[in-house]
C-alpha cells in the first residue's frame, strides 16, 4: 500500500536498507576472509569470492511498471556491487511476469527458479528453464526424483545446478550421478 500512498518514503527507505545491506555484506565477508577462502549462503553453493542470492518476493504482488520503478534499480545496484556474482531468487508463478526484465540485467548471472508450494514440479517448467538458459543465465532449480531425467534431457548441462527435494540413499545418488553425466 505504501507504494501507492507514499512512494517517495519507500524509495528513501529502500535506499537506506540497500546501503546497510552492502555495508553488512562487505563487513561479514571481511571477517570470513580472515579465516576462510570464498563464500556461501543459504543456497549451500560456494564461490571463491563474495556472492549472494538477490531476492524480492514482493514482486509477485506488483506490476511490471512498479518493478521497473522501484525494484529493478535496486537489483541492478546490488548486482553491480556483487560484481555479477549473484543469481536472482524467482519465487513462484506470480513472479514470472518479471522474468524477461530480470534476464535483461547483465550483472545477474542466473536465476534460482522456485516454482512454489502446491505448484507442479520442475519438469513442468521446462519452458521457463529453457528461456533462462537461452539468455545465457545460470539456473538453480529444485528437482524431485521424477523430474531428473526430463530436466537433464531438456537442458544444457553448463550452468545448471539441480538441488534435490529428497534425500537419496547412497545407491540412488550414485545412480542419479550416472544418469546425469551421460
Contact 64, 101 (CB under 8 A): yes
pLDDT value at position 181?
Answer: 85
101 found inside a domain: yes
C-alpha cell of residue 32: 570470513
Contact 105, 90 (CB under 8 A): no
Q: Domain total for the chain?
A: 1
| Other C-beta atoms lying within 10 Å of the C-beta of residue 49 | 12
Q: For residue 87, which phi and psi values (nearest 5 degrees)?
A: -120, 155
The one-character DSSP state at 71 is I
9 found inside a domain: no
pLDDT value at position 46?
Answer: 87
Identify the CA nearest to 54 among candidates 121, 17, 3, 109: 109
Q: Is 168 helix (H, G, I), strand (E, B) or coil?
A: coil
154 found inside a domain: yes
137 found inside a domain: yes
Domain residue limits at 177: 38-181
The dihedral through the CA atoms of 74, 80, 83, 86 has a sign that is positive
The runs of H, that is alpha helices, within 63-109 are 64-66, 72-81, 99-103
Q: What angle do CA 58, 103, 139 make, to 5 degrees?
A: 90
31 found inside a domain: no
Q: For residue 161, which phi and psi values (nearest 5 degrees)?
A: -120, 115
Stated as kind and residue range, the H or E segment containing 75 is helix 72-81
End-to-end Cα separation, the chain, in angstroms: 51
The one-character DSSP state at 107 is T
pLDDT (tens digit, 0 to 9) for every residue of the chain, 182 residues total? 888 899 999 999 999 999 999 999 999 989 988 988 888 888 888 888 889 999 999 999 999 999 999 999 999 999 999 999 999 999 999 999 999 999 999 999 999 999 998 999 999 999 999 999 999 999 999 999 999 999 999 999 999 999 987 888 999 999 999 988 87
Amino acid at each position: 500500500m505504501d507504494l501507492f500512498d507514499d512512494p517517495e518514503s519507500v524509495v528513501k527507505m529502500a535506499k537506506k536498507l540497500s546501503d546497510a545491506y552492502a555495508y553488512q555484506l562487505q563487513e561479514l565477508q571481511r571477517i570470513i576472509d580472515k579465516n576462510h577462502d570464498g563464500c556461501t549462503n543459504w543456497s549451500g553453493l560456494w564461490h571463491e569470492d563474495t556472492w549472494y542470492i538477490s531476492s524480492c518476493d514482493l514482486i509477485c504482488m506488483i506490476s511490471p511498471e512498479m518493478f521497473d520503478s522501484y525494484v529493478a534499480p535496486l537489483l541492478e545496484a546490488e548486482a553491480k556491487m556483487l560484481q555479477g556474482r549473484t543469481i536472482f531468487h524467482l519465487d513462484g508463478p506470480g513472479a514470472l511476469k518479471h522474468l524477461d526484465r530480470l534476464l535483461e540485467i547483465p550483472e545477474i548471472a542466473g536465476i534460482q527458479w522456485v516454482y512454489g508450494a502446491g505448484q507442479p514440479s520442475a519438469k513442468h517448467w521446462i519452458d521457463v528453464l529453457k528461456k533462462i538458459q537461452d539468455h545465457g543465465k545460470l539456473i538453480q532449480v529444485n528437482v524431485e526424483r521424477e523430474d531428473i531425467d526430463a530436466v537433464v534431457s531438456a537442458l544444457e548441462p553448463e550452468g545448471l545446478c539441480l538441488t534435490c527435494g529428497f534425500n537419496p540413499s547412497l545407491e540412488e545418488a550414485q545412480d542419479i550421478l550416472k544418469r546425469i553425466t551421460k
